[in-house]
Amino acid sequence: MKPDNDILKQVDRRSGMTVPDDYFANFARQMMQQLPEKEFESTDKKILPRTWWQRCRPYVYLAAMFAGIWCMMKVFNDIGSRTADMSIENNPVMASVLSSDHFYDYYSIDNVDEYDLMEEMYNEGVTLENLK
């Protein structure tokens, strides 16, 4: 036997709940009949005066935004000035590490191309006489 793969044929379409005929055609009228009569409020809307905070709030938010931007600029400028002044002469820790022989024993120079190193030394004017 071949299995039937059509799901709609397997499920009865008439199962479940049913709605009486013309139920939704009369639904709105029946609902209005069941609601109690109520008078609507007057159409005159009461407009409340704006408070001091409601008037000043946009300006306070604007000032807070500019204060935040100013603080961020100060922080980033401070970080930038700290890294710009960092050199071996100004950093005693780096100077002591680079001057130790222990650092050069374990420092890997496998990724340095000898040709690029010689060309850079030539461009800087380093000769064998200068090295001795």
Q: pLDDT digits over 14-59, tens only?
A: 667 777 788 788 888 888 888 888 877 777 778 889 999 999 999 9
The one-letter code for the residue type at 15 is S
pLDDT, average across residues 62-75: 95
67, pLDDT greater than 70: yes
Under 8 Å between Cβ of 73 and 79: no
pLDDT, average across residues 87-106: 69
In this prediction, residue 68 carries a pLDDT of: 96
Cα distance between residue 9 and residue 108, in whole Å: 74
Q: How far is CA 110 from the centre of its chain?
A: 39
Q: Which residue has the higher pLDDT, 74 or 90?
A: 74
In this prediction, residue 20 carries a pLDDT of: 78
Percent of the chain exceeding pLDDT 70 equals: 70
Q: Which residue has the higher pLDDT, 98 or 124?
A: 124
Cα distance between residue 58 and residue 66, in whole Å: 12
122, pLDDT greater than 90: no
* Token pair belonging to 16: 């479940």
Give 119's pLDDT tier (boundaries 50, 70, 90). Answer: confident
Phi-psi region at 108: left, alpha or beta (left = phi > 0; alpha = psi -120 to 50): beta
Backbone angles phi, psi at 83, to 5 degrees: -75, -25
Q: How far is CA 1 from the centre of its chain?
A: 59
Cα distance between residue 67 and residue 61, in whole Å: 10
Cα distance between residue 103 and residue 93, in whole Å: 13
In this prediction, residue 85 carries a pLDDT of: 62
In this prediction, residue 4 carries a pLDDT of: 67
